[in-house]
A and B are shown apart, each in its own frame.
Chain A
């Protein structure tokens, strides 16, 4: 039960959404864009978030797109993860998303909600980082389409009032060779200890991971280590671990040591498998 009140607005277009955000912001209501609501509702219960207004974007047509447009796959921010998984349009994303929360929650949990939400795992962003997707953002200063790596560093860095509308990725990239491995503390319905995605493009292996550090990452130095073809898989994994852009997480789900071990193991298995079948 949410113990406080907020205003609920449901715009039918992006313009309406952006101006509703501006209006409620000016009125001092601390608005939030609202997709599946799974985070906002549960976090409001304990006042971890405390919006005075929520702006439901699920009716905005552009936010609901899920299709191929020319040579791009278009993924609306308000599309529920289960729909993305079922569409088969981006198998790596489907696989990464399939580990998030549980099946019922994924009927509401959206791509945008996972990428732009508060929880630090954001596993749906990994395939977007790997495929170097473009994000369509609209805010009070207008619309922009940017490469994800320009606006995502640890989390999505949006301007005040900016809405994530869509992610777009090249169809060809969605068909590249991929792998995703997720490991949990025990039962599978849980946050990940590590969630690691790989994409092989132009003979280079890309890697992105959640759960290992305090934020999801894709790092050039780590990838360089991964692609040192003259070294063994083990040596590459060791080097990758040395170059992580942050401290390995240590918490109630697992120690840093165990997470590192799992990550290393996944790298070794993947490198060996990818090389075997080239």
Chain B
């Protein structure tokens, strides 16, 4: 049985690298990423699981890092926005103005990246179901929709 009874050294696999951090058992993954590991690309918008700005990928799945403990994911492969570089999706967001203030963008990019991996040809319903997990206050979602769909088309697939 794994036991964390006090502050401990934790080894995490992040963006393909092994990183070590000193953590409390009650530290959320979000706080450890931002405050112990300097990965401030992942944002803190509510710490209540409502806004999605803290979304990262754990074993390829989008999760809200404010809602889970760092110690839970020590054996998982974690991807943050820092681990996504010049992907077609990011290019689409940049070209199609899928953002304005940019605060929600890392969360949307992480979530949409996982979606396109999971299903390169999602229906509108699936797209909506996934992306409704993230809030944006600036764009009215039009730019985000345009960006994600442009990335889908760039993959050479036609949407249903």
Contacts and interface: CB of A to CB of B under 8 A. Distances in A.
Contacts, number: 98
Given A9-B3, A41-B28, A189 B69 contact: no
A1 B49 CA distance: 12
A98 to B, nearest CB: 8
A214 interface: no
Contact of B47 (A5, A38, A45, A107): A45
A8 B67 contact: no
A101 interface: yes
B160 interface: no
Nearest to A38: B67
Given A9-B1, A41-B68, A189-B132, A104 B28 contact: no
A170 to B, nearest CB: 29
A10 B1 contact: yes
Interface in A131-157: none
B49 A7 contact: no
Tell me the interface secondary structure of chain A in the complex: loop
A42 interface: yes
A103 B72 contact: no
Given A1-B47, A103-B130, A6 B26 contact: yes
A45 B1 CA distance: 26
B70 to A, nearest CB: 10
A16 interface: yes
Contact of B63 (A2, A10, A108, A188): A108
Interface in A1-22: 1-2, 4-12, 16, 20
A276 B102 CA distance: 52
Contacts of B6: 5
B31 A104 contact: no
B136 interface: no
Contacts of B47: 1, 42, 45
A257 interface: no
Nearest to A24: B5
A218 interface: no
Interface string A111-138: 0000000000000000000000000000
Contact of A103 (B27, B71, B132): B132
A40 B134 CA distance: 21
Nearest to B46: A42
Given A107-B61, A189-B133, 14 more contacts: A1-B27, A2-B26, A4-B26, A5-B6, A16-B1, A36-B67, A36-B68, A37-B67, A42-B66, A45-B48, A103-B62, A104-B62, A105-B133, A107-B62
Interface of A: 1-2, 4-12, 16, 20, 36-38, 41-42, 44-45, 54, 56, 58, 98, 101-105, 107-108, 188-189
Interface of B: 1-6, 24-28, 31, 47-49, 52, 55, 61-64, 66-69, 71-72, 111, 129-130, 132-134
